Structure 1
Amino acid sequence: MMTSRRALLSGFLATPLVPLTSVLARGQQAPLLPLTRACEDGDEPTLSREAGPFFKPNAPLKQDLFLDAPRGEPFTIAGYVVDDRCSPAPRSLIEIWHADENGDYDRQGFRLRGHQFADEQGRWWFNTVMPAPYPGRTRHFHFRIQRPGGVVLTTQLFFPGEPGNARDWLFDETLLITMTDAGDGRFGRFDFVV
């Protein structure tokens, strides 16, 4: 029996992020954290990408986007917002928007659009659906992230194994979501370094 997205999310939320700087300062071995390549390097922020033509400001405070497209394949995406020293960036703003299961964006309202604030450990998550590719683009999510008082990072996240990745001029392998199949959809993980 496969684990559910809810169980995977619960496990993620139950595991605290241990800042590498405090561990190293005490002379301990650094823990093996499944962080993005940039955070492992310790100095490179997440790559920026254009917002695209479908960004709309003032998306609602909302983590559960699945009800906007109930016929889509369920997908939960979660991660941390950290600084270049892998320390959590609490209360960071995270915005998401993406195409639906048919490759269409809502241009009138706020379907499959939302925002939230990272918790005190820098954690964030959204329940949504797998976006479909559309002509000229591979499957992707759009994100905007901003630490309190920081600059806005606008980027796009991509899905591993997509045939369109190689043809998409915005694709970069450092922006791949780490994915797990669940019994009720898929679970993805990505940590933003801002």
Structure 2
Amino acid sequence: MRDRPWTRRKFLWVALAAPIPLALAQPSPTLPATPACGDEDDELTPPQTEGPYFKPQSPERRSLLEPGLGGTRLLIQGYVLSTGCKPVARALLDFWQCDAQGQYDNQGFRLRGHQFSDASGRFVLETVVPGLYPGRTRHIHVKVQAPGRPALTSQLYFPGEPANASDRIFDRRLTMAVQKSNTLWQARFDFVLQV
């Protein structure tokens, strides 16, 4: 895998990834603006393997939290955009992950769910920080599909994880901007699709 230099767009995006609001119900005016794009470094979000644990027909929900679910709370926000930096409304985002102990639920739909981006292309996911699955670094699986287009299957990663260096499929272009506290991690990632 080629390690790409940071582009101007990525630098601006990380620099603007200030504290993300916790409100899930409505967009907040304090959400940092998505950087201007449409220049030469608008790269498509890279695809990655689906892995063995995808299940179709997950429930529609923005929060994967359930009673009895342990772990540190994680809030991921971002946008689904075209390469021309236009918001992609009603994009399907299907997330699945292991729990804080590194276990996937293959019987039901614990820590699995899908949602649709809003008119501005925005999505919000409330979940927990995934544990370490044997042989892998910490990650979250996702499928993103613009209306009438093929689905992108990929994975999201966490910065500064020791296992990033040894994970064979880790791709730093898929690393979220993350701010951590003892009770909540807040993350930001924008998907760029060929639309």
How high is the TM-score relative to the length of structure 1?
Answer: 0.81
Please state if 1:48 is matched with 2:47.
Answer: yes
Partner Cα separation in structure 1 for residue 190 and residue 39 of structure 2: 11
The superposition leaves residues 42-95 of structure 1 with CA deviations (integer Å, 9 ceiling, x where unpaired) of: 542100001100000000001111216531110011110000011100000000
Distance change in 2, residues 1:104/1:39 (3 Å): farther
Aligned to 2:11: none
| 1:165 alignment partner, SS class | helix
Aligned length: 174
Aligned partner letter, 1:103 = G
Aligned to 2:108: 109
Partner Cα separation in structure 1 for residue 100 and residue 164 of structure 2: 18
Instruction: Point out the structure with the larger helix share.
Output: 1
1:127 Cα deviation after fit: 0.6
Partner Cα separation in structure 1 for residue 173 and residue 40 of structure 2: 12
Partner Cα separation in structure 2 for residue 125 and residue 10 of structure 1: 9
Aligned to 1:61: 60
Match of 1:14 among 14, 19, 28: 28
1:14 Cα deviation after fit: 2.3
Distance change in 2, residues 1:149/1:90 (3 Å): same
The superposition leaves residues 15-62 of structure 1 with CA deviations (integer Å, 9 ceiling, x where unpaired) of: 499xxxxxxxxxxxxxx7458xx9764542100001100000000001
Aligned residues of 1:65 and 1:128 also touching (Cα < 8 A)? yes
| 1:66 alignment partner, SS class | coil
Q: Which 5+ residue runs of structure 2 have no aligned equivalent?
A: 1-18
How high is the TM-score relative to the length of structure 2?
Answer: 0.81
Aligned residues of 1:95 and 1:114 also touching (Cα < 8 A)? yes
Q: Which runs of 4+ in 1 moved over 6 A?
A: none
Aligned to 1:169: 168
Partner Cα separation in structure 2 for residue 163 and residue 39 of structure 1: 34
Q: Which 5+ residue runs of structure 1 have no aligned equivalent?
A: 1-5, 18-31
Percent identical among aligned pairs is: 43
1:100 Cα deviation after fit: 0.2
Aligned partner letter, 2:105 = D
Aligned to 1:25: none
Aligned residues of 2:156 and 2:174 also touching (Cα < 8 A)? yes
